[in-house]
Structure 1
Amino acid sequence: MTDLAKMDKSSEDAIAVPEAPYKRDEEMQELSSKERTSSFFTILASAFGLISDGYQNNLMTMANVVFTNLYPEYYTSEVKTRVSNSLLVGAVLGQVIVGVICDRLGRKFALVGTTIMIVVGGILGTAAHGAHGSVAGLFWFLTIARGITGVGVGGEYPASSTSASEAANERMPSQRGPVFIMVTNFVLSFGGPLAVAVFLIVLSAAGEDHLPTVWRVCFGIGVLLPLTVFYFRVRMLTTKLYRDSAIKHRVPYMLSLKRYWKSLIGTCGAWFLYDFVTFPNGVFSGTIISSVVHDSDIKRTAEWQLLLGTIALPGVFAGAFLCNRLGRRNTMMLGFSGYLVFGLIIGCAYEKITNIIPLFIIFYGLMQSFGNMGPGDMLGLVSAESYPTPIRGTFYGLSAAIGKVGAAVGTQAFTPIQDNLGKKWTFIIAAICGVTGIVVTYLFVPDMTGVDLRDEDAAFMKYLSENGWEGEVGEKEGVDSEDDFEAMKK
């Protein structure tokens, strides 16, 4: 460990002059095979873990349609919102708590814990029943199970994303942004089409006369996904960046807030606006499509939903392509502008455009694609890059949690907006959020394109020293055994 109070002047002077962007690429050649392979497995484990998050986030899209069909008298707007929001409430708790845990106890500890929570919650959801066959009891059981799952899903955001950003910074600094996007937002977004594709396969196999079997099997598959990476997470190594820079005791939170308050407003505010629009539009998109499909046919609704999710995916690749070329902040503002343009097109012409279902799906998909390209891709990236390693998980988790608060508020308000103002207003409000998102991003979100994470760590340590903070930096026990690493490779 390093005692910050003992830093000499020469080391401070060295910290004061950041190295040129991406100069670390040359240093990567000097890393040992163990370190390079460790970074690769960390990135891969983050990607596969977040696929299960994307699946869980979108599981209720078609489940809402099924429950409405099975229990029209019981599955009211209030119950639908409660069950959908339970995942969000759990996610908020998970993001805040696990964000702190992954900074104080380590990335690996947090990742293993979140995986267990998702598995337990998924099993409970699959087996959900009401006492004596009570339908109301079923949905209360499901609410609790989804809440437990949400804690794990929410915890994945800071735990997986911080690990992925640090490992990508070690392995391929110049491509940190695109790599981070592909192993985070891409797999999260892919969870939407995956959940619908699984639903269609199960529905085709079981038939529409066995809808209870359909939704339980879909919930059960959500248990299998996180289990695929559990072994690797148990064996994974802690990133070198965390081992060198972690602060596990006497964390200077007040000094951190004093230095990063502006960035925190940016990441929290932009994430709130993004999730306020995208989450309810994802959860209730099946219901929206069902309302414009003839006879509300479940299979046709699912097919259109699959097309919608597929159209939204190219935006992820566009964001990965642009993040280094345009910069993080400009790409995010461009994405928010898509909400403005397509939100107004759909909202102002809703009655006419919904009579042409393919056209409605295309515009709806383009709006979500721009969301993926901009805030969807960039929010996780800027939240991981804007803060130094000792507080990265905590501030990332807080930003993501405020986003999930926006998602919960949006989900809670979605049905009342539809019922009282009309469905078109859900899109017009999305356009308003797009304008607000552009302003918040421009004023508060820092552009960390090309900045090495170790440079920000060094600047933070110098700032702490100048403000009189004294404490231990780094960890002695952060490196797992060589045997563990070899076992992981096998």
Structure 2
Amino acid sequence: MSSITNNSDNFNYQVTMHDQKEMDEVNLTQETEIHLERHRSVTGANFLGTVLGFLSTGYNIQVFDLVNLVLAYNYGSSYSNFYETTIGNADIYGILVGLLLFGAFSDWFGRKACLLISTSLIFVGAALSSVSWGSNGSLIGLFWMMAISRGIVGVGMGGEYVSGIPNTTEDSEEVNYRHRGRRVGFSVNVVELCANVLPKLVGLVLIAIFQYGDIQAIWRISFAFGAIPCIGLFFIRLRMQNSQLFQLQRKREGFLSLDKFDLKYICRNYWKPFVACAGNWFLFDWYIFTYDTFGARILSQVTGAGLLKTSWILLIQRFFYILGPPFILVLIYLVPAETFPTRFRAVMLGLCSAAGKCGGIAATEAFNPLKQRLGGGDTGLRNLQFVYTGVACLGIVITWFFTPEYKEKNLIYKDVQYAEFRRELLIVSKPNDSLEEKKEEL
């Protein structure tokens, strides 16, 4: 009789726990949806801050392409391959550091605080780049100050990516999750690609003005333009707020740092999407960072054109790049931002993007040696195109077999699933804890 009673009690306990589990999940979902509905009015300032932030980032990430050509004209053989690669890679190294640091900080301290710091770093780095100098007129000192300054800009840009993209993705969820991709695509990808045109336009005007005068003014003013938008942007971002999904996650979980249970959850549920996001970003940045760094010099070498004609060609080329956001959006920005729960969205986005920057660094470091190995000169450049075609084809394979689809799926349920995972761990761990305490008492 006693065993029957115990079995009945256990059954009732299991039924009660199951019912409570379902009720908790429903309540959590309803609470989240109501909370989001009440706070949609705050997304306007966040949207404007995101748009202006990626205008700044889009300019600064492209400004070195034409500047690189100007430096070669300005300093001749003193501007060796070593310094070209060092300065060209400085912002990539900086972005890599910023992605890893701000990826953790954004999930810990909040998106807004990290965006304010990122804007400040971009301003300081761009300003220092424009006034670079070497002690007693040393060109080596000038080049190293320029490299360090571009590294500071890169750290700020890395913070921009891992704080701005999660924040605008989560805000878009509040507006209409069915149109999330469209909204993120406009505020991030389209804006950044349009901003990529600005350095070419600014450079074209400056070259037309200074090509027969002080050519040094071209690169100094080009860098300075990257600092100007940050002044107004900083004050706009003072009005921004952390997304409501982030605030609700913080309210539910508190200031928890990532732990072994998070690692287990990621390895069990997200290893395949991580391979897709990180792998595609690696290949994409391998391809794009090479042309962002050396594109102007490649055009100048192949066509034999001077500064003014090369700048015209680059400007026209950049206008065609604006047609690419649907493709870039799916592979690079939106998928990593949609894939992971709010609790570690910025961290995982930072790791995926960091994999991309590793591809950019590897490609930039390998460009000149690989060109020489493949024949050097025009022959080496032509043979390199086959290598990059292979890189693009490999990206197609990774996309087809590994990339997930999140179109018209609500991000709220990822947070619900994660909360349920933590709750199950808590339920399982409590009996063990009680048993250990009883053993200690005995």
Normalised-by-shorter TM-score class: 0.7 to 0.9
Unaligned stretches of 5+ in structure 2?
1-15, 375-379, 430-442
Relative to total residues, which structure has the larger helix share, 1 or 2? 2
CA–CA separation in structure 1 for the residues paired with 2:27 and 2:400: 24
Q: Contact 1:293/1:300 (CA < 8 Å) preserved in 2?
A: no
1:284 alignment partner, SS class: helix
CA–CA separation in structure 2 for the residues paired with 1:250 and 1:470: 21
- Summarize the Cα distance change of 1:306–1:15 in structure 2 as closer, same or farther, 3 Å threshold: farther
Cα shift readout 1:213-238 (whole Å, capped 9, x = no counterpart): 11101111100122231112112112
Q: Contact 1:388/1:460 (CA < 8 Å) preserved in 2?
A: yes
Paired residue type of 2:256: H
CA–CA separation in structure 2 for the residues paired with 1:433 and 1:177: 26
> Offset at 1:401?
0.9
Structure 2 residue 138 is matched with structure 1 residue 131: no
Of 249, 252, 259, the match for 2:256: 249
Of 449, 458, 461, the match for 2:407: 449
CA–CA separation in structure 1 for the residues paired with 2:86 and 2:146: 10
Q: Contact 2:132/2:142 (CA < 8 Å) preserved in 1?
A: yes
Q: Contact 1:185/1:377 (CA < 8 Å) preserved in 2?
A: no
The answer to which of 35-44 and 58-67 deviates more is: 35-44
Q: Contact 2:189/2:329 (CA < 8 Å) preserved in 1?
A: yes
Alignment correspondent of 1:398: 351
Cα shift readout 1:88-142 (whole Å, capped 9, x = no counterpart): 0010000010011010000111100101111111111111001110111110110
Alignment correspondent of 2:6: none
Q: Contact 1:274/1:376 (CA < 8 Å) preserved in 2?
A: no
> Offset at 1:382?
0.5
Alignment correspondent of 1:273: 283
CA–CA separation in structure 2 for the residues paired with 1:120 and 1:459: 41
CA–CA separation in structure 2 for the residues paired with 1:178 and 1:80: 38
The answer to which of 207-216 and 271-280 deviates more is: 207-216
Structure 2 residue 196 is matched with structure 1 residue 192: yes
Of 392, 398, 401, the match for 1:434: 392
Structure 2 residue 98 is matched with structure 1 residue 116: no
Of 339, 343, 348, the match for 1:386: 339
Alignment correspondent of 1:226: 230
Of 152, 161, 169, the match for 1:148: 152
Alignment correspondent of 2:208: 204
The answer to which of 56-65 and 208-217 deviates more is: 208-217
Q: Contact 2:185/2:329 (CA < 8 Å) preserved in 1?
A: no
> Offset at 1:9?
4.5
Alignment correspondent of 2:295: 285
Unaligned stretches of 5+ in structure 1?
1-6, 320-373, 472-490
> Offset at 1:451?
1.0
Alignment correspondent of 2:317: 308
Q: Contact 2:70/2:215 (CA < 8 Å) preserved in 1?
A: yes
CA–CA separation in structure 1 for the residues paired with 2:370 and 2:49: 40
CA–CA separation in structure 1 for the residues paired with 2:428 and 2:164: 29
> Offset at 1:263?
1.6
Q: Contact 2:54/2:191 (CA < 8 Å) preserved in 1?
A: yes
The answer to which of 395-404 and 229-238 deviates more is: 229-238
Paired residue type of 2:61: N
Q: Contact 1:417/1:425 (CA < 8 Å) preserved in 2?
A: no
> Offset at 1:459?
1.2
CA–CA separation in structure 1 for the residues paired with 2:24 and 2:336: 23
Alignment correspondent of 2:58: 54
Q: Contact 2:69/2:296 (CA < 8 Å) preserved in 1?
A: yes
Alignment correspondent of 1:13: 22
CA–CA separation in structure 1 for the residues paired with 2:27 and 2:392: 35
Alignment correspondent of 1:76: 80
RMSD over equivalenced CA pairs, Å: 2.6
1:79 alignment partner, SS class: helix
Q: Contact 1:122/1:145 (CA < 8 Å) preserved in 2?
A: yes
1:238 alignment partner, SS class: coil
> Offset at 1:426?
2.6
Q: Contact 2:277/2:331 (CA < 8 Å) preserved in 1?
A: no
Paired residue type of 1:269: G
Q: Contact 1:51/1:188 (CA < 8 Å) preserved in 2?
A: yes
TM norm structure 1 = 0.77
> Offset at 1:183?
1.1
Paired residue type of 2:334: L
Structure 2 residue 416 is matched with structure 1 residue 463: no
CA–CA separation in structure 1 for the residues paired with 2:147 and 2:395: 31
Paired residue type of 1:315: G
Paired residue type of 2:90: S
CA–CA separation in structure 2 for the residues paired with 1:261 and 1:50: 29
> Offset at 1:16?
6.6
Number of residue pairs the alignment of both structures matches: 402
Q: Contact 2:280/2:331 (CA < 8 Å) preserved in 1?
A: no
Where do 1:358-373 residues align within 5 Å?
Answer: none
TM norm structure 2 = 0.85
Paired residue type of 1:109: A
Paired residue type of 2:404: P
Structure 2 residue 255 is matched with structure 1 residue 240: no
CA–CA separation in structure 2 for the residues paired with 1:138 and 1:118: 19
1:235 alignment partner, SS class: coil
Where do 1:317-356 residues align within 5 Å?
Answer: 319=326
Paired residue type of 1:384: A
- Summarize the Cα distance change of 1:14–1:66 in structure 2 as closer, same or farther, 3 Å threshold: farther
Q: Contact 2:287/2:391 (CA < 8 Å) preserved in 1?
A: yes
> Offset at 1:155?
1.0
